[in-house]
Every structure is written in structure tokens, then in C-alpha cells.
Amino acid sequence: MTESVPLTWEEVARVYGRKIYNFAYRLTGNSDDAADLVQEVLLRVRRGLASYQPGSFEGWLWRITRNAFLDDVRKRNRRPVAPIPDDIERWDVASSPGADVEYSRISLGDDIQKALLELPIEFREAVVLCDVIGLSYEEIALAVAVPIGTVRSRIHRGRKILKELLT
Amino acid sequence: MHPNEMISAYLDGELTRAEASELFVHMGTCGKCVGEMETMQKVRTAIRSLPLIELPPGLLGDAEPVVVPLRKNRGFWVGAAAAGIAVVIAVATFLTPSPSAMSVDDLNSRFGARVSLDPAFGPAKVVVPDVRDMTE
């Protein structure tokens, strides 16, 4: 898919900032980590736009985003303590402004969010890119650098595991 | 062999017409896959009902976010309804040259029932299986 390319990173931030944040939030389950990830992605976009080759902008952007997420996961895995929170009460949402409002919105889907965090990363990212961000299988395949058949399999298996976790 | 992965792909509008036909031929004789379709549809809807999380104030600095829909692809229902309507129009157009030869009741009995069964299964049920499609 060929799309018009935002010319500046500020435009990428304006148009995609909220999507990147939601992707990051659903993958990490944590507002601080999500905010850090958004800033890291925008930094990489800023560096990468100079050498961007016209093509699927969304594929390019989401590849940068998921790579930033995976780099962060690898970094955390090298540290001795970085457990994924399994209890919403422990989530650090109280430190940001408007946390009460955010918390009440999060709690509506907390079971699903908790289940998402239990999914293996490759299934979690495929399901989130499909169901939260709304990418096509082709765009997900570009972002994750796997064949479309693998995307299809990961989304279905991811949803099946979620179903088991939610019942 | 159950075509499990085709079920999610169908719900996401990611199957070709030939694949959808193949899936529905199988589901015609497999209650397990019919149940799987219903379950997967519920899970998919549940994930898609997650609330949008707004950006923390000041995260983007001077770049104020533009409010754009989070999900850009059309919902499954829109696609299914559009495909169903397109087929109904195509069928009606095909039959129009001899209006006296077929009443509305005839049309309903031949095509309407299949169209109106369940919109979730619209695209595949209104497509008359074509042997050439099945071998693609």
C-alpha cells in the first residue's frame, strides 16, 4: 500500500501519536512504559525519515514501533527484576495527571488487558495491531516481517488463547 | 482437518471469495467450526471494545495530536453488508430483462432466503459456489 508520507516527525506525532500510545499501552499494560515507548518511536522516526523510501508508510512506522518495543523487552529481560504486573491495583497510573479518569476507563477492560499481557509477545503484537490499531494482515506482515499466513495463524491462535484466559 | 485459521481471517475480511466458499462448504457439515466461528466473533468483539486510552498531556510536546479514528479499517459488518448488497444488486440486474418472468416472491424464494439468513455469513452464502473458484 502506498500512502502519502507525513513530511515531518511532528506530523507523524500529531497523526499517529495516539495510535502508537495505544499500541504501546496494550502491549505493556503500563502508562509510563507506553509514554517512554512513544518518545523512543518518535525519536527513531525523526532519524529515519531522512532516509525513508516511499512505500507503505504504515508498514514502516509499525515496524519501527514494534522493534522499539522488542528492544525494550530485551533490555528488561537482562535486568533481574522486571515482572509484568498481574494485578491492576499495582499499576502505576497514579503518578500521571488525570489518573483517576484514566483508571476508570482502563478498569472497564481490565480483564482483557490482563489476558493480553499473558499472551506470548508474537501473538500479543499481532492481535493488538489487528484489533486495537486496525491494520490489515498485509500491513501487519510488513511491520512484523513475517508471511501473511503467519499473521493469520498468530491472530487466530492469539484470540484462542485469550478466549481460554477469559473463561 | 478443521480450517481454524480461516475463521478469524473471515471475520477480519481477509479471506478470498474462494477461501470463504471453502470455509462455508466445510461449516455446512461441521458444527464444531460453526461454534468456533461464534466464539471467535465474541472474543474479537471483546478485544475491540477496549477503551481508547488518551495520551498523557504534554507527551508530544508542541505537536498536539490530531483526533483520528483509532481503527481505520472498516468493520466486518460493513464489508459483509456491502458485499451482500452488491450481490443482490447484481442478481437483480441480471434478472431485470424479463420482469414478467419472475415475481418478487420468486426472487425471494430463489435468492432472498439465502441473503437474509444471517448477515454474518452474507458474503459466502450469497455466492453460488463455482468449481473454478474452488480449484484456484
Q: What is the pLDDT of residues A137-151, one digit of tens each?
A: 999 999 999 999 999
pLDDT at A153 over 70: yes
pLDDT bracket for residue A78 (50, 70, 90): confident
pLDDT bracket for residue A76 (50, 70, 90): confident
Residues A67, B129: Cα–Cα separation, whole Å: 43
Mean pLDDT on A29-37:
93
The grid coordinates listed for A61 are 512506522
pLDDT bracket for residue A88 (50, 70, 90): very low
Q: Which residues of A touch B43 (CB under 8 A)?
A: 159-160, 162-163, 166
Q: In terms of C-beta density within 10 A (0-12 exposed, 13-18 middle, 19 or more buried), how is residue B127 classed?
A: middle
pLDDT bracket for residue B87 (50, 70, 90): low
Q: Give the list of residues 6+ apart from residue A68 with CB closer than 8 angstroms, or none.
A: A37, A40, A41, A44
pLDDT bracket for residue B71 (50, 70, 90): low
pLDDT bracket for residue A49 (50, 70, 90): confident
Contact B40 A13 (CB under 8 A): no
Three-class DSSP labels, B106-120:
HHHHHHHHHHHCCHH
Q: What is the pLDDT of residues B7-18, one digit of tens each?
A: 999 999 999 999
Show which of residues 74-133 on chain A sit within 8 Å of chain B, judged by CB atoms.
96-98, 102, 105-106, 108-109, 112-113, 116, 127, 130-133
- In percent, the amount of chain A with pLDDT more than 90 equals 56
Residues A113, A102: Cα–Cα separation, whole Å: 14
Nearest to A133 among B51, B60, B70 (CB): B70
Contact A137 B55 (CB under 8 A): no
User: What is the ipTM, given to two decimal places?
Assistant: 0.76
Contact B40 A113 (CB under 8 A): no
Nearest to A163 among B14, B43, B53 (CB): B43
Question: How far apart are the CA of A76 and the nearest CA of chain B, in angstroms?
Answer: 22
Which residue in chain B has the smallest CA separation from A103?
B53
Contact A112 B73 (CB under 8 A): no
More confident residue, B93 or A129: A129
The grid coordinates listed for A2 are 502506498
Dihedral over Cα of A83, A85, A87, A92: its sign? positive
